Amino acid sequence: MTVLREIFSQEQLRFCVPREKPLLCATVNGTKIMLKICAKSEGIFKREYRKQLLVSICITIIPFAHGFGMGWFSVILAKLQSPLETALDFVITVNEGSWMGGFASLGGGCGNIIFGILADLVGRKASLYFLAIPYAISWVLVYFAKSVEYLYVGRFLAGISGGGSYVMVPIFIGEIADPKIRGRLTSFFSLTLNSGIFIGYIVTARLPYHFIPVLGVALPAIFFLSQLFFPETPVFLIQRGLDERAKKSFKFYRNFQSITKESIEEFQIEFDNLKCAVTASHNINMNVTWRDFCNKRAAIAFANSLVLMMLNIFCGAYAILYYTSNIFIQARADLDPDTNTIIVGLVQVTGVCAATILVDKFGRKPLLMFSCGATCVGLTIFGIYGYMLQNTTVDVSGLSSWLPLVNVCLVLFVVNAGLIPIPFVLLVELMPPKIRAKASAICLVLFNIFGFILMKLFPVALEDFGLALPMWSFALLDLFGLVYISLFIKETKGMSLNKVDP
C-alpha cells in the first residue's frame, strides 16, 4: 500500500514555467476596459492553471458531501433521541448514538486502507469513482431506516467514503497541480469539508428528515458524472509505463497549446523532468523495508506525527463538531440549538479560510501553539460554566444567552485555524521521503481509531458527567499539546520535503 506517495513527494516536481498573464477585455457602453487578471501574482486563475482549478473543484465535491453528512449527524442525532422530534419509528438511545458516531470512524479507517490499495491497484481516477458508491448507499439506508442497525451500516459506509477521500483527494490534486498553486488547491479539501458541514447544519435544521437523503444521494451522483471529463493523472500513467497517455494527460492539466516550436520544446523538457522525478520517487518507495522505520529520524518523525494525530482528535473539536446540538442542550443555551449549530458552522468555514491564508505566512508551529493555547482557555472556561450550571446553585442564567455559543465559536475557530488542518500538513512534511507514504497511511488509520474511541466515549461521558469533566479533559490535553509542540515540533515552513530533519 503506497498511500499519499506523491503528495508533495519530490521537490523535483517543479515543472511549471511562468507565462505572461492574459488580459481580459470587456466593453461597457462602448468603452473598452482592460482588466489585468492577477498581473503580478501566480494566481490560480492563470490560463495554464484553469483546468487544474476546475478539476480540483470537481474532485472536492466528495469532501463537501462527507462534510454534509457530518453536519447532518450533528443536528439529527438530538432529534432522533427525542420521542417528540424523531421522524423514525424508533428512538435512539445515548449508547446507540455513540455507536453511530463510532461506526463512522471505523469506516474511515477501513476507507484509508481500501483506497490506499485501490489507488495503486486500479488507478487514481477509477478509485475516485468508487468513492461515490458507499456514500450513495449510506443515504439510501438512512432514507429507508427501519431500525438503528440501518443507521449503523449507513454511517459505516459514509465513513468509508470519508476515509477514502482523505487519501484520494490530496493524492489526485497533488499529482495534477503545479507546485506554485498546489498548497491552495489542496486547501480546497478542508474548505469544502467545512462548507459541507455548514450546509448540512442548515439543511438538517430546516428540512424534513426524508428530504435530506435525496440531497445526500444527489451529491455523489454529481461527483461521479464530473469525473467523466478529465483524464488519469500523468504521474500514475508514468508509473505504469504509459508515456503517451501520460503526455496527453500532462497537456490537459497544463492547458498546453502547441503555438511555437519553442513552446513544444519547453513542454517536452517539463514532461521529461516530471518523468525522471516520478520514476526516482517510485523506485525509492518500492524498496521500503522495516529497517527504514527503525532509525532515529524515522522514529522521531513517527512519534511526532502520532502525537499530532492524537491532538487533532482529542483537542475537543471533533466532539463539539459531531455532538454540537447535544452540547448546547447540556449547556442550556437560550438560543435554539439548531440556530447555534448553524452559527458554529459558519465560524468553522471562517477558521479554515484563516488557516489557508496564514499557514505559509506565519508558519506551522506558531499557528499550532496559538491554536492549542486558545483552545485550552476556551474549553477551561466552558468547563467552569458547565460545573457552575450543573453542580452548584450559582445563578448562571445571565451567561446562558451568550457564553456557550461564544465558547464553542472560539474553540472551533482557533482549531480550524491550526489544530485541524496543520497536523495533516506536518504529517507529510515531517516524514523522511522513503517511508512517507506508508508511515502516513499508518498514522491515518490510527487517526480513525482515535476517532472511534472519542465518538464512542464522549456522548456517554457527556450524559454521565455533564459538561465540566469532558471539557477540562480536552483542555488538559491541549495544554500538553502546547508544551509538546513548543519543545519537540520543528518549523517546516519553506523547507524542502527531502531535507526536513525532525
HEC string of 298-316 equals HHHHHHHHHHHHHHHHHCC
Residue 38 pLDDT: 37
Identical topology for domains 1-287 and 291-502: yes
- Strand residues in 13-165 grouped as ranges (E): 23-28, 31-36
Residue 284 pLDDT: 63
Residue 19 pLDDT: 36
Residue 496 pLDDT: 47
Q: Say which CATH superfamily domain 1-287 falls into.
A: MFS general substrate transporter like domains (1.20.1250.20)
* Cβ-Cβ contacts under 8 Å for 117 (sequence gap 6 or more): 1
Residue 491 pLDDT: 76
- The answer to whether the Cα torsion of 140, 98, 446, 496 is positive or negative is positive
Residue 43 pLDDT: 64
- Kindly report, residue by residue over 251-310, the tens digit of the pLDDT: 888 877 766 677 677 777 888 887 887 777 666 666 667 777 778 888 888 888 889 999
**pTM reported for the whole predicted model:** 0.76
Determine the CATH number of domain 291-502: 1.20.1250.20
Residue 175 pLDDT: 81
3-state SS string over 239-292?
Answer: HCCCHHHHHHHHHHHHCCCCCCHHHHHHHHHHHHHHHHHHHHHHHHHHCCCHHH
Residues of the chain with pLDDT below 70 are 1-45, 183, 258-260, 263, 281-288, 334-335, 337-338, 355-363, 433, 437, 492-502
Residue 65 pLDDT: 94
Residue 120 pLDDT: 81
Residue 502 pLDDT: 42
H or E element that contains 144 = none
* Cβ-Cβ contacts under 8 Å for 88 (sequence gap 6 or more): 80, 145, 209
Residue 327 pLDDT: 82
Local structure of 31: helix, strand or coil: strand
Q: Residue 265 to residues 13, 234, 258, 268, 274: CA-CA distances in angstroms? A: 18, 18, 10, 5, 14
Closest to 22 in 3D by CA, of 31, 35, 32: 35
Opening angle at CA 378, ends 376 and 379, nearest 5: 65
| Number of alpha carbons in the 13 Å side-chain half-sphere of residue 313 | 23
Cell numbers found for residue 126: 477509477
Identify any residues that bridge with 241 across adjacent strands, giving them in sequence order.
Answer: none
Cell numbers found for residue 249: 494527460
- The answer to whether the Cα torsion of 462, 468, 472, 473 is positive or negative is negative
What residue ranges do the domains of the chain occupy?
Answer: 1-287, 291-502
61-80 helix and 337-362 helix, angle to the nearest 10 degrees: 150
Rounded Cα distance, 335 and 30, in Å: 53
* Torsion angle (degrees, nearest 10) of CA 432, 435, 438, 439: -50
Rounded Cα distance, 460 and 451, in Å: 15
